[in-house]
Structure formats: structure tokens, C-alpha cells
Structure 1
Amino acid sequence: MTRVLSVQGVARLEVIQALCLQTLTALAACKPNVAWMTIGIASRLVSCRALRSDENSNDKDRSLRCRWSVFCLEKIFSPHMSIPAKYLDGLEYPSSAPLPPLLTSAGAGDKVAGLYDSDEAVTDLGINSYYIQMISVWGDVATWLHDIKLGNDEIPWRPESGHTKLSTRYYEFERQLPHMHLLRNVSFTTRTASEIFEQREYWTSWVLMQILFHAVPATINHPFIHLVAVRRSTKGPQSHAFLQQTVDLAIFHSAWVFRILQCSEGFGLEITSPLVGHLVAILAIVPCLFRFAVDEKVSNRAVKDLKWCQDYLARASLIWPHMSQKLDLLRNLQHIADHQRSNHEGGNTIMFQPSLVWALLDPEICHMNTSNEIPDESPAVPEARLRVTTRFTHPLTEAQQEQQPAPSSNFITDENFSFDPDELEQLYLDDLFFHSNPDPFFGL
């Protein structure tokens, strides 16, 4: 019945809601073409509904949730063809779950003045609004990746580049995010599993927002993009300072995604959405490459992270079978890199098929399936060669590093990456970047 009504252009709320559910059902059944067409129909019906002025005030929040749900589905699964966010300017966001009560230990009396303090009041639009905004940013990142895949070259450090524009948009979002939703203030890791469960509507949106918040910079600074995909655009030497920055940010933020998901799992709040699975597959390429770093702590940490990513995708594939294709692609990439590498001073050089990486970075929804088929590689496209190094600029000497004072609460320098939740809540960005040189994994 839903199909009949939608084809007839019946833009009732329940019809669009049913189409959203059918989209996810089609994805779970590995029918990507059906999912893609269903999203398109829902989007057109939402546009028709937006032209109506007889909206029932009692259905306002349901209608907002419906419109934004369609927007998110488009941004996630067909970002190249989605309705631009500017056409939704002025549209209210759906209501959000309230902010969980502050813990006593996170009260104002325990705050340390500095990074998160601000005299400027920021209006809180609700956690759902910030999650939606990050999905919108991610949709633009996905479009940028697709353009690069198609050969849209750019010099990424220039102001007109897509990389610079996306970075600016990301910084603008971060600037406007109310401090009350920051990790330090919500005390996520110091809460009990029962607290997380009772407030799971808020925490689910918060975790998803945090994952995207770190996945966006990790992706736009992805080592494959800057060390392989756009190198031909520079027509000469690349900026080593820029490369140092991109690799630092990619490893830093990808590690945050893995840690947040692991912490959520510890609370029984396992997130296995298609979007998160896609992000994990993209970011898993980072540890897959840095397993070959010269520093043992870097490579050991990368091996553990890659294993966790593969385990996560295996679990996610039980709910979303097309995730098994991502897992197979990742394993194929790992296998090829393991058997096609050579050692050089300052790093290892590996060779691999770019199509394998692109299949993870920019998958076509119509090609989603449960097989482990490797994408075809054109004979005209040579294998990519990448030297895995963590240093593009001159590092501090060992003597200088030894003079650094031992960190008092740096959870990321522990070899096993274990951490005290109380220390995590008190962490500042200054702490993280101060430890970037002595720490072997993040000090690139």
C-alpha cells in the first residue's frame, strides 16, 4: 500500500515514515537499488509536503523528525544527489532528549579554568540538532571524496580547495557547539551502565555526534588521500608541514572514534548503524597502513586497532549483511599490504590496489552486497606505492624528548591504551597536543 500511495504522490506523514523504514529494511536485505530509489521517493514527497501550509500543529515534531530523517538518509546513502542543506535553512530541528543531570564530580566547583570556559552564551538547540548538522557535514565530505575519486584534483592547503572549505566548516561547527555537550562536561565515562541506559535517547545521539565529530577530520586528513590520491595535483614537492599535520590529525581523530565506540560497548550501548560501520571501515585503513611504522609502539597500537575494527565489522554484519563486504575488502587490503612491502630507512614502503581503498572510502550504494568480490582495476591504473612514515618534519631529538616531564594524566601514552575515566574527563586539548611529541602513536 505504501508503494501505491507514494507513486500516486500522497505526501502523508505516515507514508513518508513508512518509506524511511523500508529504506533501512532494503539495506538490511542487501537490496541497495531498492533502498536508493525509496530514499529518492521519500525526498520528493517531503518536498511536496513542504509546499503545504495546512500542517497540523499537533504533528509538528513528528513532521520535523520525518523531514530531517529523510535528509539524513540522503546525506548518508546518496550525498551526491541530496537536497542541499541551504534549502532547509530556517527549518526547526526536532526535539531532543534533555541533557542528563550533571554528576557531582563534574560540577562547576571542579572545573579548571581554561580551554572550555567562555563568556559568550551559546543557545543550545538540543543534541539531535548537532547530530544532524554533523551528518550534513559528513555528506559534504563524502561528496568531496567522490569528486577526488573522479579526478577532481586540488592542492589541499590552498584556500579554495575542498579540504580547506571542509576544515573551515568543521571549525565553525565546533565553535558553535555548546560546551555543555562536550565530553568533559557530560562525564560520559564516569557514569554507570544503568545511567546510560536510562538516558539512552540522549546518549545514543551524543555518541553518534561524537563519532562524526572525530570521523570528519580523520577522513579529510586521510593518509591515502594526501599521500596517494591528490599528489598528482601538486606538480612538484608537497608541503611537508601540511603532510605532518594531516597524518597527525588522521591518527589522532581515528583513535578517538575507536575509543568512544569501545567505551560505549562497555556500557552496553553498542552502535551498529550502517553509517558507523562505514566510518569504521574508512578509518580502519589508517591503522592498516601504520602497522608498518618503524616505531614499535605505533605499529603495535595500529595492529590492535585494526583487529578491533575487523571484530566490529564482523558484529555489525550480523545486523547489516553488506558490512561483510567491507570486512572482506579490509582483509584483502591487509593481505596485499602484508605481502607487497619493502623496508627503507625512515619507514616501510607498501604497494596496493587503489580500487580497494576507494571501495571503502567511496562505496557506491548500488554495489553493496555480501560478497567478497574485489572491485575491477583498470589495467591503465598502476598499483599505488606509499611510504609509511610518521615523520615529515624534523622531530625533537631523543635527548630533548627525555627531558620532557612525565605526564601526570595522559591516558593515550599507555602502551595498552587503558585509561582512568576520571582522567579522561579532565583532559584538555592542550594536554593532547603537548604530549604529541613524546607519545609514539600520536606524535607524528
Structure 2
Amino acid sequence: MFSSIRSRYERPPSSGASRMPPWGPQPSLPPWKQIGPIAELYLLYCDSQPLPLFCRNRFLASLHDRDVEVTLAIIALGIRFTNSYSNTENDISVVNGYAEAARGLVMKRVSEGPVEISTLQCLCLLSLVDFTNGNTHRSSIHSSLAMNLAQCANLGLKPRTATSPTTLEERRRCFWSICLLKRLHGADFSILDLPDVGRPPFPDSPPRPPRAMSPGPSSLEARRSEMQDQGIIAYVIMLSETFGRIARYVRLRGRPGKVPPWSPESEYSKILALQMDLETRMPLTHRFKPANLSDRSPEELQANREYWGPWFLNQFMYHTILCLLNHPLLLSLSLRTFRNTIPEIFLQHTSDLISSHTTWIIHFINYFEEKSFLVSDPLLGYSAAVVATIELQLSFTDDAAIREEKRTRFSKCVKFVQQIGEKWPHMARMAQRLLHLEDAVSATYQSDPGAQNQSLIIDLSRFWDILEYSSNSDSDSARRLFGDSLFAGPPLAMAEVSQTSPLPAPTRLITPVSGPSNLPSQSLHSDVGFAGAQDYPDDSLVVPQQLALPTDDDISILATNFFSQGQEFLRGGDSWENIGNF
């Protein structure tokens, strides 16, 4: 198959910066007249969206000198953005053909040597290709292998021999790309896991494009100029540490801890504190207000994607962390053992955060549509999917205005994920899962609380399929990778009624009819902040209670307790109205 999609080509003479593989002739590549435009598309839509692997100023000129496996992996990503690519089975086969050729070369390099910086770069690219194709296990193997090789080679340390500035820059770009890859894909990883490697400087970043109306810094920016600016890519890397922690928090699936979330010792409070600490290190120049997005033309945004790509990634990570930390489903599950002592101020705190940060994600989605900005970073699709699960859960209410608004926002998120899915297969599957979730949850809902079928339960596994980003298509990925002697099959999903219900609304003097639909006029963010998979039967989410078997609480939830009509969180005699009010 692969030979049918490429033509024979012998690489032109190079400057000798790259050695030929010692095991024989290199594989064929497409003609360089085809590689060049694809590499330009990679630079435009993939570089720093999310991985900042290469030096932009020499990327195109260095293609002839790069090892073949890197070029093949670059093609496997960049070809998705050609006009002819449509994410069909044939197009996916083309992508996989280039990726498999690169994989064969890089694995042979790892086993026989010499391992070069290009080896680690290729492993990062292949990890991204595999992850977006749903091969999450193999993706993890590639990124972990890259991490181990980086540790063995002391990649984080400055070489003692004379090295060009470009080589030094690509070394640290590779180091931080590996870290970023592990964190964004939810690995249990910390910089402390690499005590012998050291910590190189952050990669160079492009400056923020000047404002058309006022190219110089504003007076407020000038007053804040004493804060050192490490560059937008550095702040993406910093925030990815919190993103990795929230991914591990989500994998707990709301299991109650020993202390309540409002305790300073809880993981909830620690993540929130880390988020706020990172925000204090964010200079004003990279925040929302100075960006002056409303005055940026589509042409200006497109011409400066090297800055706006990581800038939007930073924004979406910031808001997604807070959406996941305060997700109504996760919180209601985690508060099961503290139902008698929930303070009113905590309810107001979480309610306000969810309202604000889901609205920010919706605002950016509207902005992309208004500016016709092509979003190429798949992580932004995950952020929209997280918001979609929140909007779906909150849409089940008797208030017609709220219901209509939440359904509109849900549909907007799904459409956004579908658009990103035109380039990335795992996002296409994510959109399908959202639609299946909508159909299945809706099947258990009745607007009349008195008519609610008490025997219906909601299987929460579909929520975890969406919220646990790194576990997307996990069982299918394992089946493709492991043989019969290792593969144990997916875990049995047995249903159990969970003793929980939605959190109550906090007591307010004036309760708005619906949440904000436009950009918030005042918020911490706007002032100083950062701003095929396996198909399921349509009725698989609805399970008769009499067939339920005991298992973990994270499997299912009683339908009448999931929807906003649930009358009681407590199973004793106390009601929500008597909790937490002064």
C-alpha cells in the first residue's frame, strides 16, 4: 500500500549535517516539490499546536538535511491540511503509510543506533499521530521511549562540545515537547521524574503581534513591564503541569477522598492553588485584554499563527482545568461522604466558576466562527467536549429558557468538535460519542419529576469516555497492540446505583433566568487572567435497575438523581435547603 502512495526519489546532496542510516538505502520519499508545500502546512497548522519541536526560521531550509524518518513523520501530520484531504478511509491509510515507514526507521535506529535528536523528534511526532488515531497505548509507548532516551542522553543539559545555537534551541525544544506531550496526554509525569536530566531554558517564543490601532504597549502594560516575559510557549509549558494534574484528578472519577474538596489538603484545593500561582507569573502582555482580539482581522490571525496557536492553547487549557475541577458530575460524586457539611460558599464558588469558564470556551468558539479561523490543535476540541458534557447535564431542567440556552451551547460545542474531527480521527469519534451521550441520557429523562422512572440508571462510562482524554478508544487501542497472551479484554461494565444527585444551586438574592450568553463583562480572566471507535447500541445507557450488579460507584447513577429534578441529595432526613446557610 505504502509504495502505491509515494514515488521514487533520491535525496539531493546535503551539507552532511545528517548521516545516512547504516543499515542500507533510505526509503523512497515523494518528490521534494510535493514535500515542500506539505512541510509549509505543518509549519502553519502543527508547529506549537501543540508541540514546539523545530526552529521555525530554519525549518523549511533544513528539510533536505533532516533524517528521513523525521520527514516522513512531518508528512504524516502536515498532509492532513492539504486541500485534497477529507479524513476518508483512503486518506487515513495514506497518513498511516507515512507514519509506519517512519516508525520502522526510528525503531531500527533505537535498536541499532545511532540515536540522534531526530530520533526523539520522530518519536514525538509518531506519538501525536498515534494518539489522534486512537492508538493511545502505542502513543504512550513512543512518548515514554522518547523520555527515557532523553534522560539517558542528558538532553536537558547543555553539551560540553561546541554546538550551534540552532542545535541548542532544537535540543531544548525537543526536551520540552516531550514533557508537554506527556502532560497533555494525561501521563503521571513531573519534571521531578527527571532528576539527572536537568532543566533547560524554555524555548524561544514569537512576540505578540502588535495591535493595529496602537502598535506600542499600553500604559498598563508599561507599568507591568517589570515582570520578566519568558514567552508564550513557556507559559503553555508551565500550565501543562496543572493540566496533567487535572487529568489525573478526572481519572479518580469523583471518588470521595479523606478530606472534602474545600480543605486545603484536598487535591481540588492543591490544583486550584497551583493554577493561581501560575497565573501570578503570567505577564500582562500575554493575557486576554491586551490581545485586543476584536480588532484582529482573519488575515492577521492567520499570518501570525505561530503566536496565536499557542496563545489559544494556553487560554483553552486554563479554562478547561477550571471546568473539569468544578464539573457538576465530578463534584456531586466526590461529595457523597460530605453531604451533611457542604458550605454554602463552596456551592456559590463552584457555581460561579462553571458559569464563567464554560462561557469563555463558548466565547472563543464563537470568535473562531466569526473570524473563520481554522482551529488545528486537537486539544481545543477536547476542551469543547468537556464543556458539552456540562451543558448537556445542565440542560435537563423545567426552565424553558435555561433549557434552550444549554441545548444551543451543547450543539455549538459538538459542531466545533466535528469541525476539528475533519482533520483528526479521534475528534471525529469524540463528536460521535457526544451525540450518543445526548441520545442515551435524553432517553432516561422525563420532565415530570413525579413520572420519573425510578428503575432507570445512567451509565457514567460514556462520560468517562469523553472526560478522560488520554483513555479515548482505550480498549480498542489495547486490542490492536497486544497479542492474546497479554490482552485481557476490556473490564466488565456492571451497573450500580450511586447514592448521589446534582449539587443544589447556591442561595442568591436575585437568581438570573439564564446564564450569560455573551462574553462576561467583568471577570478575573478578562482583567488579569489567562485568559471509528467502538459504537454503542442506542439504548446501552439505559439499564433496568433489577439487572444491576454491585461494583464501583463510578459506573452509574440513578437517573432521577442525575437530572436537576432530583429532590434530595441526602438519604437521611435533611434536605439541601438546610445545608450551608448562615
Per the TM superposition, whether the score is higher than 0.5 is yes
Identity of aligned residues (%): 21
> Per-residue CA shift, 1:235-270, capped at 9, x if unaligned?
524223212221221121022112213313433332
Structure 2 unaligned blocks of 5 or more: 1-104, 478-489, 528-582
Aligned-partner Cα distance in 2 for 1:154–1:321: 40
Query: Which one of 354, 362, 367 corresponds to residue 474 of structure 2?
Result: 367
> Per-residue CA shift, 1:254-304, capped at 9, x if unaligned?
221122133134333322433222222222111101112444443222111
Aligned-partner Cα distance in 2 for 1:388–1:231: 9
2:459 maps to what in 1?
Answer: 353
On the 8 A contact 2:243/2:321 being kept in 1, the answer is yes
Structure-to-structure mapping, 1:431-442, within 5 angstroms: none
Query: Which one of 131, 143, 146 corresponds to residue 42 of structure 1?
Result: 146
Structure-to-structure mapping, 1:300-311, within 5 angstroms: 300-311=404-415
1:157 maps to what in 2?
Answer: 262
DSSP-derived class of the 1:278 partner: helix
Pair 25,120 (structure 1): closer, same or farther in 2 beyond 3 Å: closer
1:209 maps to what in 2?
Answer: 314
1:69 maps to what in 2?
Answer: 177
Deviation, 1:232, is 2.2
DSSP-derived class of the 1:352 partner: strand
2:294 maps to what in 1?
Answer: 189
1:175 aligns with 2:288: no
Aligned-partner Cα distance in 2 for 1:86–1:297: 52
DSSP-derived class of the 2:396 partner: coil
Deviation, 1:78, is 4.1
Q: How many residues align?
A: 400
1:440 maps to what in 2?
Answer: none
2:134 maps to what in 1?
Answer: 30
1:16 maps to what in 2?
Answer: 120
1:138 maps to what in 2?
Answer: 243
Pair 368,274 (structure 1): closer, same or farther in 2 beyond 3 Å: farther
Deviation, 1:93, is 0.5
Pair 242,10 (structure 1): closer, same or farther in 2 beyond 3 Å: farther
Deviation, 1:16, is 0.6
On the 8 A contact 1:74/1:82 being kept in 2, the answer is no
Matched to 1:76, the amino acid is L
Determine which structure has more spread, i.e. the larger CA radius of gyration: 2
Deviation, 1:26, is 2.0
1:396 aligns with 2:509: yes
1:382 maps to what in 2?
Answer: 497
Structure 1 unaligned blocks of 5 or more: 403-411, 434-444
Higher helix share: 1
Deviation, 1:85, is 7.3
1:271 aligns with 2:380: no
Structure 1 segments of 4+ aligned residues over 6 angstroms from their partners = 106-109, 430-433
Aligned-partner Cα distance in 1 for 2:192–2:411: 37
More off after superposition, 255-264 vs 299-308: 255-264
Matched to 1:355, the amino acid is S
RMSD between aligned residues: 3.4
Matched to 2:474, the amino acid is H
Aligned-partner Cα distance in 1 for 2:252–2:393: 23
Aligned-partner Cα distance in 1 for 2:111–2:379: 28
On the 8 A contact 1:322/1:369 being kept in 2, the answer is no
Deviation, 1:330, is 1.9
1:289 maps to what in 2?
Answer: 393
More off after superposition, 375-384 vs 175-184: 375-384
Pair 242,43 (structure 1): closer, same or farther in 2 beyond 3 Å: same
DSSP-derived class of the 2:425 partner: coil
Matched to 2:430, the amino acid is K
Deviation, 1:384, is 7.1
TM-score if structure 1 supplies the norm length? 0.79
1:429 aligns with 2:523: yes
Pair 344,57 (structure 1): closer, same or farther in 2 beyond 3 Å: farther
On the 8 A contact 1:333/1:352 being kept in 2, the answer is no
On the 8 A contact 1:336/1:351 being kept in 2, the answer is no
On the 8 A contact 2:398/2:447 being kept in 1, the answer is no
Structure-to-structure mapping, 1:240-259, within 5 angstroms: 240-259=344-363
DSSP-derived class of the 1:50 partner: coil
Aligned-partner Cα distance in 2 for 1:86–1:99: 32
1:442 maps to what in 2?
Answer: none
Pair 246,326 (structure 1): closer, same or farther in 2 beyond 3 Å: same
Aligned-partner Cα distance in 2 for 1:385–1:376: 24
Pair 344,158 (structure 1): closer, same or farther in 2 beyond 3 Å: farther
DSSP-derived class of the 1:74 partner: helix
Matched to 2:248, the amino acid is T
1:340 aligns with 2:444: yes
2:53 maps to what in 1?
Answer: none
TM-score if structure 2 supplies the norm length? 0.62
On the 8 A contact 2:246/2:325 being kept in 1, the answer is yes
More off after superposition, 349-358 vs 87-96: 349-358
On the 8 A contact 2:392/2:410 being kept in 1, the answer is yes
Query: Which one of 92, 95, 102 corresponds to residue 201 of structure 2?
Result: 92
Deviation, 1:125, is 0.3
